[in-house]
Amino acid sequence: FKLCSNISIVPEEMAPEYVISGSVAPGYEPVKEMFKKNFENGTEEHSQLCAYVKGEKVVDLWGTVDKTRNQIN
């Protein structure tokens, strides 16, 4: 089971699929993990995150939920 929409638990096979793309600089992997967790627990549906440190891009991530996965036609 996975937490979905912060208030209900649904079987994992019914949880929304998500796609995360982008990159993080070495040492910033925990940022990517937290970004991913926000999709897993349903707090994000579409998101972008870009961060610079001293002029260097260290985080460049984006993600979205595939809302068509479990639609009943």
What pLDDT score was predicted for residue 12?
Answer: 59
Confidence of residue 6 (pLDDT cuts 50, 70, 90): very low
Higher pLDDT, 18 or 29: 29
59 and 27 in contact (C-beta within 8 Å)? no
Residues ≥6 apart with Cβ < 8 Å to 34: none
Q: Which of 53, 2, 50 is nearest to 23 (CA)?
A: 50
- Whole-model pTM: value is 0.69
**Averaged pLDDT, 37-48:** 86
Q: Which of 62, 37, 41 is nearest to 51 (CA)?
A: 62
* pLDDT at residue 44 is higher than 80: yes
Sign of the torsion angle spanned by Cα atoms 68, 4, 34, 53: positive
